[in-house]
Amino acid sequence: DTAVSQTPKYLVTQMGNDKSIKCEQNLGHDTMYWYKQDSKKFLKIMFSYNNKELIINETVPNRFSPKSPDKAHLNLHINSLELGDSAVYFCASSQEVTTYFGPGTRLTVT
Amino acid sequence: AQSVTQLGSHVSVSEGALVLLRCNYSSSVPPYLFWYVQYPNQGLQLLLKYTSAATLVKGINGFEAEFKKSETSFHLTKPSAHMSDAAEYFCAVSDWNSGGSNYKLTFGKGTLLTVNP
């Protein structure tokens, strides 16, 4: 059973489009995250939710809007996609200290 | 603010040789420290973690790391490299976000390990 799952795995789209990435965790964790990995493999936190409440927003552009319908799901919607948004987006969840990551969604904006 | 420095963006070893990947951290509070591995086109897999218990931490796939507070280091080692160890390795430090009951990971820039036959 996959602990943290994301869909889609690959996403190719044109500039200006709007797209969403879905994430689900079956670990029963209270906290979920979105991390971004850029082309140089650098990983940085974008958002953190605790029990559906936004906790961390790391100065991410307003075009990125996370939504948590329940504590097992955290979706990421991106408006007006730009070339610089091309990256791998990882969903993650944690309970206590340890963070578990999903397989990632590779977003390519052309 | 916490930070992580991984010395060496690329480490190359021969199969059977010792693997040593270096990680130094900066933290104003006792840290929680992690090593994650990323195989090509895959997600991040937890190798091991230090959470203020034993300073020598054993992880999966024969890896271990030692927390040295005096050196602010958490280097990752494996006595004998296998071809299957070839991957990107990330060191991370976690701090407690007191405002919201969760942990935020700050990552190093990663070290690509290649293993030569």
Q: How confident is the model at residue B21 (pLDDT cuts 50, 70, 90)?
A: very high
Does the CB of A98 have a partner CB in chain B at under 8 Å? yes
In terms of DSSP bridges, do strands A31-37 and A53-57 run parallel, antiparallel, or are they unpaired? unpaired
Contacts of B21 by beta carbon, 8 Å cutoff, 6+ apart: B6, B8, B11, B35, B75, B76, B77, B89, B91, B111, B113
Query: Residue B51: is its pLDDT beyond 70?
Result: yes
SS3 B8: coil
Interface size between A and B, measured as CB pairs under 8 A: 69
pLDDT on residue B1: 73
DSSP line for A62-82: TTEEEEEEETTEEEEEE-S--
pLDDT tens by residue, A61-83: 999 999 999 989 999 999 999 99
Radius of gyration of chain B (CA): 14
Which residue is associated with the tokens 């407690």?
B96
pLDDT on residue A96: 79
Say whether A100 and B46 touch across the interface (CB within 8 A): yes
* Residue in B with minimal Cα distance to A4: B43
pLDDT on residue A1: 61
CA–CA distances in Å: residue B24 to residues A41, A79, B47? 18, 38, 17
Asked if B89 and B110 count as a contact pair (C-beta separation under 8 A), the reply is yes
User: What is the distance in angstroms between the Cα of A63 and the nearest Cα belonging to chain B?
Assistant: 22
Contact list in B for residue A48 (CB cut-off 8 A) is: 97, 100, 102, 104
Q: What share of chain B is helix, strand, coil (3-state, %, to 5)?
A: 5, 55, 40
User: What is the distance in angstroms between the Cα of B51 and the nearest Cα belonging to chain A?
Assistant: 8
Q: How confident is the model at residue B52 (pLDDT cuts 50, 70, 90)?
A: confident
Largest distance between two CA atoms of chain B: 49
Say whether A97 and B46 touch across the interface (CB within 8 A): no
Query: Residue B13: is its pLDDT beyond 90?
Result: yes
Contact list in B for residue A31 (CB cut-off 8 A) is: 101-103
Say whether A48 and B102 touch across the interface (CB within 8 A): yes
Say whether A42 and B109 touch across the interface (CB within 8 A): yes
pLDDT on residue B63: 97
Which residue is associated with the tokens 């280091």?
B73
pLDDT tens by residue, B55-96: 899 999 999 999 998 999 999 999 999 999 999 999 999 876
Q: How confident is the model at residue A59 (pLDDT cuts 50, 70, 90)?
A: confident
pLDDT on residue A6: 96
Share of chain A above pLDDT 70, in %: 98
Average pLDDT value over all residues in chain B: 91
In terms of DSSP bridges, do strands B111-116 and B10-14 run parallel, antiparallel, or are they unpaired? parallel
Say whether A90 and B44 touch across the interface (CB within 8 A): yes
Of A48-57, B30-39, B106-115, the range with the highest mean pLDDT is B106-115
